[in-house]
Structure 1
Amino acid sequence: MDKLRQTIEAIRPLDEAAMKETERRLGRLTKPPGSLGRLESLAVQLAGIAGATVDRPPRKAVVVMAADHGVCEEGVSAFPQEVTGQMVLNFLAGGAAINVLARQAGAEVVCVDIGVKSEVAHESLLVRKVRAGTANLARGAAMTRDEAARAVEVGIGLAEELAARGIGLLATGEMGIGNTTPSAAMLAVFGELDPAEAVGRGTGLDDEGLRRKYETVKRAIETNRPNRDDVLDVIAKVGGLEIAGLAGLILGAAARGVPVVIDGFISTVAAIAAVRFAPIAREYLIPSHLSEERGHRLALRELGLEPMLNLEMRLGEGTGAALAFPVIDAACNVLSQMATFDSAGISEG
């Protein structure tokens, strides 16, 4: 718990001087003021995080946290639980959608076993297993409070390692069959929502599966009675190991001055947990896209964030975040590659 506390205390507000300097530079470029819209606000945000104008694309990594969920016993997923471990091997072989999109964006994929039920062996896999999957949250707590804290601290430690390697931009990805169920439960608790508002079809449930999933989330909250004002209590009782790990990744990145691109529904719920731990961490978040999963819009609303893209995706893995990387690169490149009014000899309005 000391690492979590120290990390929260290390997160600082954005650098106002760096943001104002970047605004001045943007104002000298050959364009009407503000005409590049969110590219300009991104450039300013990146400057505030870095403490200086960022005029070249940073090194990028997508962190895919993988874990299993005991709640799969309730029939809440259209896919069997063993797919989690199988997909981890697919990530490591470079054959998943996130591998394709990360390669396109010049980013590496870091795959982490934080709680996969099966034993997955691969030289490139980071094994940081807290436990072999959560318990069935519909019948009791998903994990202990200590396990939840350890999972958060796994994410913090990984952010520190990647920042030390020179990674300047992180994206949150995840893999865990059944993980939209704990995500929906956490969102319902944090947002004080009826579970029906937070529960979606996940990997493609039919109407009966959706009803069963709603009843499962409702029962989990009634059984565990998580305290919405105690983040670790919510994670431990109705959360997931990979969700906790991603929350820690966000906190660790913010403490090291590294921005984080959040992906879809599960990643955004992890971001809510991170911001509940440390409200200032919100300033380090870059929302990528709007997922088709029902609760995602509500999760973004909880954070007060607007996504950049809407491609009707619902895959997870960090795929939406990877698609936002070129937009972020563009925000950096306009600062270094566009001419100013003075250098181009163009009269200002």
Structure 2
Amino acid sequence: MKRWKQIRGRIRRPDPEIRRKALRHWNNLTKPLGSLGRLEETAIRLAGITGEVVPDLSRKAVLVMCGDHGVAEEGVSAYPQEVTGLMIDNFARGGAAINVLARRFGAELVVVDVGSKAKKLPPSVIDRRVRPGTANMTAGPAMTREEALQALDVGIDRVEELVRGGVRMIAIGEMGIGNTTAGTAIAAVFTGRPVEVLTGRGTGIDDRAVLRKREAIRRAIEVNRPDPADPIGVLAKVGGLEIAGMAGAVLGAAAAGIPVVLDGMISTAAALAAARLLPEASEYLFASHLSAEPAHRFMLEELGLRPLIDAEMRLGEGTGAVLCFPLIDGALSLAREMATFADLGLAGPAEERAQHESDS
């Protein structure tokens, strides 16, 4: 039996009673009801997931999955495929955007190579390569079904190891030249939206490259005919090794009972595949930001998620997800440290409303 099937029974629903207790707690803090908006909503969801009214999520990690894409041969990126390996080296040296943000906001950075073409990896990068890059999906499947399952296992295994080390929340990000093409193809399959509506500029491609990218996605879907009812098949036919790895990370986190903060379009494509595979995993997902990539909005709608940040970012690497960490930390600090109306010897708005309703 494959790992994703083995963990299915371990994914529990968030605790509704703890969520109610968290809501009561927020309603009794010294502020108007609901005045902290999405921060309250986020903290209450985290309470249900963790089973704690005010959880301690100080141990956080960002998991960056890396892989190359055969579809890069179609001229869909502004950068050559070799940049994937160069960026992996950059992660190891601490010079990438995600390194800066992870350091700044106290997150452990874990870089995993699931399928790059790099000849040699730095010692700090975890080598779990299933194969050296996917095949060109415009001519046939990006990978075999077995390879997609192996990549899923990479994500599950890595999250389980992080949880054993004490991590209580993860963010997922990626690196792989050509992966916005694969992510958009996944979005087209799962949302049913036209490729023209979904396709963005990725690494900053010009108008002619956008046309090539759209055509590559259309051709890949036409050649492979991925079935949205078969998420493993979708990942294998038009996905990427790092995308399947992130999907596995989502499943592993849900099975371990820890929240997952998504980054942009590509990590959300992975999360959507994971949620189609095991729908109960979707309750552990949090959207960090709204990417400038048009497919992102539609996939978030499919997952029923609303992002906390809208900064027109499209970098990837997990940068938007880690930028969301201080918002989450702030929400939990408010829940932990704010005074209640009872502390001031006053009835809170929730109590006053309940008294008014009983009097009438």
| TM-score scaled by length of structure 1 | 0.98
Deviation of 1:332 after TM superposition, in Å, equals: 1.1
Does the 8 A contact of 2:2 with 2:149 survive in 1?
no
Match of 1:118 in 2: 118
Match of 2:358 in 1: none
Match of 1:227 in 2: 227
Determine the C-alpha separation between the residues in 2 that align with 1:58 and 1:332: 10
Does the 8 A contact of 2:42 with 2:328 survive in 1?
yes
Match of 2:147 in 1: 147
What SS does structure 2 have at the residue aligned with 1:133? coil
Does the 8 A contact of 1:55 with 1:334 survive in 2?
no
Determine the C-alpha separation between the residues in 2 that align with 1:247 and 1:208: 31
1:158 is aligned to 2:151: no
Match of 1:211 in 2: 211
Deviation of 1:123 after TM superposition, in Å, equals: 2.0
Determine the C-alpha separation between the residues in 1 that align with 2:172 and 2:64: 7
Deviation of 1:57 after TM superposition, in Å, equals: 3.6
Determine the C-alpha separation between the residues in 2 that align with 1:233 and 1:55: 37
Task: State, as a whole percentage, how many aligned pairs show the same letter.
Answer: 55
Determine the C-alpha separation between the residues in 2 that align with 1:33 and 1:195: 43
Match of 1:254 in 2: 254
Match of 1:316 in 2: 316
Deviation of 1:71 after TM superposition, in Å, equals: 0.7
Return the letter of the residue paired with 1:175: M
Match of 1:170 in 2: 170
Does the 8 A contact of 2:197 with 2:294 survive in 1?
yes
Determine the C-alpha separation between the residues in 1 that align with 2:132 and 2:67: 8
1:30-179 → structure 2 map (5 Å cutoff): 30-179=30-179
Runs (4+) of structure 1 moved beyond 6 Å? none
Does the 8 A contact of 2:186 with 2:235 survive in 1?
yes
Match of 1:26 in 2: 26
Determine the C-alpha separation between the residues in 2 that align with 1:28 and 1:118: 55
Match of 2:284 in 1: 284
Determine the C-alpha separation between the residues in 1 that align with 2:52 and 2:347: 28
Match of 1:10 in 2: 10
Determine the C-alpha separation between the residues in 2 that align with 1:104 and 1:274: 30
What SS does structure 2 have at the residue aligned with 1:295? helix
Determine the C-alpha separation between the residues in 2 that align with 1:143 and 1:181: 15
Determine the C-alpha separation between the residues in 1 that align with 2:30 and 2:99: 37
Compare CA radii of gyration and give the structure with the larger one.
2
Residues 17-60 of structure 1, C-alpha deviations (whole Å, 9 max, x = no match): 11111112112211122111111111111111111223434311
What SS does structure 1 have at the residue aligned with 2:294? coil
Deviation of 1:120 after TM superposition, in Å, equals: 3.1
Unmatched 5+ stretches in structure 1: none
Determine the C-alpha separation between the residues in 2 that align with 1:55 and 1:77: 42
Match of 1:348 in 2: 348
Q: Report the CA distance shift for 1:255/1:300 in structure 2 as closer, same or farther (over 3 A).
A: same
Match of 1:239 in 2: 239
1:183-222 → structure 2 map (5 Å cutoff): 183-222=183-222
Return the letter of the residue paired with 2:109: V
Deviation of 1:110 after TM superposition, in Å, equals: 0.5
Determine the C-alpha separation between the residues in 2 that align with 1:29 and 1:153: 43
What SS does structure 2 have at the residue aligned with 1:66? strand
Determine the C-alpha separation between the residues in 1 that align with 2:254 and 2:58: 15
Determine the C-alpha separation between the residues in 2 that align with 1:136 and 1:54: 47
Return the letter of the residue paired with 1:282: S
Deviation of 1:274 after TM superposition, in Å, equals: 0.8
Determine the C-alpha separation between the residues in 1 that align with 2:4 and 2:334: 37
Determine the C-alpha separation between the residues in 2 that align with 1:20 and 1:339: 19
Determine the C-alpha separation between the residues in 1 that align with 2:55 and 2:175: 33
The more displaced of 115-124 and 11-20 is 115-124
Residue correspondences, number: 349
The more displaced of 193-202 and 205-214 is 193-202
Deviation of 1:139 after TM superposition, in Å, equals: 0.5
Unmatched 5+ stretches in structure 2: 350-360
The more displaced of 206-215 and 122-131 is 122-131
Q: Report the CA distance shift for 1:298/1:348 in structure 2 as closer, same or farther (over 3 A).
A: closer
Residues 214-264 of structure 1, C-alpha deviations (whole Å, 9 max, x = no match): 000000000111111001111111100000000000010000011000000
Return the letter of the residue paired with 1:268: T
